[in-house]
Amino acid sequence: MVFELTKMTWPDVEDGLAESSLVVVPTASVEQHGPHLPLSVDALRGRELGRRIAAELDCFLAPVVRPGMSDHHMDFPGTISLSEETFKAVIRDYCESLTDHGFTDIALFTSHGGNADALVEVADRLDADLDGHVFVAGDREGMMEARTAAMGEFGVTPEEAGAHAGAAETAFLLETNPELVEPTDGATGFVGDVSDIPLEDGIRAVSDNGVLGDPEQATLEQGERLIESCASYFAGEIEAETARAVESR
Please list the alpha-helical segments (H only) found in the chain: 10-16, 41-57, 84-100, 116-129, 140-152, 158-161, 167-176, 220-248
Contact 168, 49 (CB under 8 A): no
Structure pTM?
Answer: 0.96
Answer yes or no: is pLDDT of 91 > 90.
Answer: yes
When pLDDT is averaged across residues 180-195 and rounded to a whole number, the result is 93
Band the pLDDT of 140: cuts 50, 70, 90: confident
For position 194, what pLDDT does the model report? Answer: 81
Which residues, at least 6 apart from 173, have a Cβ–Cβ distance to it below 8 Å? 37, 41, 44, 45, 180, 181, 223
Domain ranges of the chain: 3-248
pLDDT score of 100: 98
Output the pLDDT for position 248. 76
C-alpha–C-alpha distance, residues 225 and 147, integer Å: 9
pLDDT tens per residue across span 12-54: 999 999 999 999 999 999 999 999 999 999 999 999 999 999 9
Instruction: Report how far apart the first and last C-alpha atoms of the chain are (Å, whole number).
Output: 26
The Cβ-side half-sphere exposure at 93, using a 13 Å CA radius, reads 7
Phi, psi of 60 (to 5 degrees): -85, 150
Average pLDDT, the chain: 96
Q: What pLDDT score does 197 carry?
A: 72
pLDDT one-digit tens code per residue, 97-132: 999 999 999 999 999 999 999 999 999 999 999 999
- Widest distance between CA atoms in the chain: 55
* Predicted pLDDT at 249: 67
Measured at the alpha carbon of residue 82, what is the angle toward residues 77 and 88, in degrees to the nearest 5? 160
Give the 3-state secondary structure of residue 228. Answer: helix
Using the Cα atoms of residue 97, residue 240, residue 59 and residue 30 in order, give the sign of their dihedral: positive
- What homologous superfamily is domain 3-248 in, according to CATH? Creatininase (3.40.50.10310)
Give the rounded percent of residues in the chain with a pLDDT score beyond 90: 93
Distance separating alpha carbons of residues 55 and 189, to the nearest angstrom: 35
Average pLDDT over residues 55-81: 98
Confidence tier at 90 by pLDDT (50, 70, 90): very high
CA gap 168, 45 in Å, rounded? 11
DSSP 132: S
